[in-house]
Amino acid sequence: MRVAMIEVVDLVKHYRASDGSVVRAVDGVSLAVHPGEMVGLLGANGAGKTTTLRVLATLLKPTSGTARVAGCDVRHDPVGVRRSLGYVSATTGVPDRLTAREIFSSFGELHGLEAAGLAARVERLIEVLDLASCADRPAGRLSSGQRQRVSLGRALIHDPPALVLDEPTNALDVVGARDLLSFLAQLRGEGRAILLSTHRLHEIENRCDRFVIIHGGRVLATGTRDELLAAWADGQGAELEDAFFAALAGGGAG
């Protein structure tokens, strides 16, 4: 039996809104991502995707349920989670006045990497992320694609076995998005477990191994592309988007 690198079981996250009411952002989500697997987390705005990923990144405390990364529980061993996880969100920025090289180095230091190993790791990331031409330019003067690659490099500096990305292609054009997803596929090939959320289904339809569709904080459907199409879409030429809408309609979101 394969052990999941990212594992979420019956995760619940409630919070109190400014009017005093209780919001059930995540209400019993379960999912798993294994090493060498890329899973797409799909859902409309407010479905609970970002909250789930933030709990995995130890930015939010779960109300109940468990979330583990590399066997470390987010509640009891958050440092262990952070050592094993690379996290990139749609709102994650890069410091405008630092260069890519400085950003990688400072986060490497935060992860406790030794100087010699860190320098080699920085050079390696600059090379694989194709940042050599702009590695010493302040990040504020980089293009959106270059900034997103710097952000990804920052998340990979400590060579984590698990990667969580929240809408990573949002700010990118078609070419930038394709390059980023290709690179993620390469990382999956290296054995990393990748969980990413996105609204742009066509971009990941043929790249993710499995998908989890959530709505209203609950999981509506889960499976491979073919399994979802078989369960939620009919007819030839159906796409993941059709299954997604059908699942939402079936789950009461229609």
Partner 1 sequence: MRQTERHAGGLRAALAIARRDLVEFVRDRRTLFITLLLPMVTYPILALSTALGLRTASSEIEAQRAPTKIVVTVSGPDAIALVDRIGFVEKKTTGSGREGWPSAIEMEAVTAADARGRLDQGVADLWLEAPRGCIAALDADGTVAIPVHLPPGRPPNRRVRDQFDAVMRSLAEDVRSRRIQLAGLPASVLAPLKLVFVDGLEESRPPPAHSIMSTLAGGVLVLLAVLTLTGAFYPAIDAIAGEKERGTIETLLIAPCGSRDIVFGKFLAVFTVTLATLAANAVSIAATAAVSRRFLPADITMALPDSAVVAILVTVLAFAGLAALSAATCLAVTTASKSGKEAQNTLTPVILLVSALAGTALLPGMRSDSLLAAVPFSGQVLVSRGVFAAGEAGPHAVPAVLGPLAVTLLSAAAGTWLLLRATASMLTDEDILFRGGDVAGAGFNRPGRRTRPNVVQGVLPIVAGLAALWYVQGISPDDLVRAIPLQQTAAVILPLLAVTWWQRVDIRQTFRLAWPGGAAGPATWWGGVGWLVGAAALGAAVFVIGATTLLAVKGTVLSDEARLLSNKLLELMESQPAWVSWGLMAALPAVCEECLFRGWVQSGFAGRAESRQRVVAAIVAQAALFAVFHLLPERMPQTFFLGLVLGGLTHASGSLLPAIVCHIAHNSMPLALLAAGLPRWALPASVGCLLLGAVLLTNGSRGRSRMEPLE
Binding site residues, partner 1, CB under 8 A = 15, 17-21, 54, 57-61, 74-79, 82-83, 85, 87, 89, 91-98, 102, 106-107, 109-112, 138, 154
Q: How far is the CB of 159 from partner 1 (least distance, A)?
A: 13
**Identity at 3, one-letter amino acid code:** V
Identity of the residue, 74 or 125, whose beta carbon is nearer to partner 1 in the bound complex? 74
Q: How far is the CB of 165 from partner 1 (least distance, A)?
A: 13
**Which tokens hold the place of 186?**
């390469």
Q: How far is the CB of 155 from partner 1 (least distance, A)?
A: 8
Identity of the residue, 2 or 97, whose beta carbon is nearer to partner 1 in the bound complex? 97
Identity of the residue, 126 or 150, whose beta carbon is nearer to partner 1 in the bound complex? 150
Q: Which of 197, 203, 230 is nearest to 215 (CA)?
A: 197
Identity of the residue, 171 or 230, whose beta carbon is nearer to partner 1 in the bound complex? 171
Identity of the residue, 78 or 223, whose beta carbon is nearer to partner 1 in the bound complex? 78
Q: How far is the CB of 252 from partner 1 (least distance, A)?
A: 25
DSSP for 90-111, written as a single string: TT----TTSBHHHHHHHHHHHT
Q: How far is the CB of 86 from partner 1 (least distance, A)?
A: 9
Identity of the residue, 85 or 172, whose beta carbon is nearer to partner 1 in the bound complex? 85
59: exposed, middle or buried (Cβ count in 10 Å: 0-12, 13-18, 19+): middle
DSSP for 39-58, written as a single string: EEEE--TTSSHHHHHHHHTT
> Rounded to whole angstroms, how far apart are CA atoms 205 and 59?
28
> Rounded to whole angstroms, how far apart are CA atoms 60 and 57?
8
Question: What are the C-alpha distances in Å from 107 to residues 57, 150, 199?
Answer: 16, 12, 29
Q: How far is the CB of 101 from partner 1 (least distance, A)?
A: 12
